[in-house]
Structure 1
Amino acid sequence: MSEEKTFSFTLFEPHRTRAPKNDEPLIEIRPNGRIVFNKKASQLLENSHFCMLGYDPENKALGILPSEDLTPNTFPVRYAAKGAYIGAKKFFKHFEILPSQLIENTPFKSGQFIGINLTNY
């Protein structure tokens, strides 16, 4: 008769747990010149397909003006399942404000503009 073996099983328990979903509006400014809206922030665009961009150097803020019309200076807004984004590298290079690292901030309304501070503070 053989002896019974004792097993010591280690359960699969992934270390990473999903972070709770961020339900706050958030806009990211990426070093590649993309302005990325999470789902909540993309609602501020009110399904506009284009936007004009402005810069306030005194307050270091970006202004996004949603627009339905394609004009020579508008940027297309692309919608995705998790939000929206605008490719705006030309804009950032023009004002020499392309960030070297990701900037993430809560948007604010300023008149018809959606504003975002370009600092991480």
Structure 2
Amino acid sequence: MSEERDFSFTLFEPHRTRLPKNDQPAVEVRPNGRIVFNKNATQLLENSNFCMLGYDPENRALGILPTEELKPNAFPVRYAAKGAYIGAKKFFKHFDILPSQLVENTPFKSGSFIGLTL
């Protein structure tokens, strides 16, 4: 007959746990002046090849207006496998709002604009 003992088992739990991928629309503003859209946020651009950019200083918000035609001061939208980006360093320098570190936020619609608080 075996004697009764209390066992204290430790479960196998790997240290590295994978976080679920963020599938929410997100836009990053990088210190190099790039505005980067993740895959879900890219849908807001509606496959436009260009965009106009605006700034609301009162709300510290960036406005992105997708457009199909090349207008003076329009920025080209570059599409990639994992999203899209706009090179807009001149815009950020003009308003003196180039971030010193990466800013990531959830975009919102404001009329025809895609808005992003900085």
Moved over 6 A (4+): none
Match of 1:36 in 2: 36
Amino acid at match of 1:39: K
> Separation in 1 of the partners of 2:46 and 2:29?
20
Q: One-letter code of the match for 1:59?
A: N
State the match for 1:108 in structure 2: 108
Residue of structure 2 in register with 1:63 after alignment: 63
| Counterpart amino acid of residue 58 in structure 1 | E
Q: Give the number of equivalent residue pairs.
A: 106
TM-score normalised by the chain length of structure 2: 0.86
- What are the equivalent positions in structure 2 for 1:72-87 lying under 5 Å apart? 72-87=72-87
Q: Deviations over 1:61-102 (max 9, x none)?
A: 000000000112100000000000000000000000000000
Stretches of structure 1 that go unaligned for 5 or more consecutive residues are 1-13
Q: Secondary structure at the match of 2:18?
A: coil
Across the aligned residues of Structure 1 and Structure 2, the Cα RMSD in angstroms comes to: 1.4
CA distance in 1 between partners of 2:59 and 2:106 (Å): 15
- Say whether residues 1:48 and 2:48 are aligned partners: yes
Q: Which residue of 1 aligns with 2:95?
A: 95
What SS does the corresponding residue of 1:93 show, helix, strand or coil? helix
Secondary structure of 1:92's counterpart equals: helix
Q: 1:16 & 1:67 partners in 2: Cα distance?
A: 43
User: Which range moves more in the overlay, 77-86 or 14-23?
Assistant: 14-23
Counterpart for residue 20 of structure 1:
20
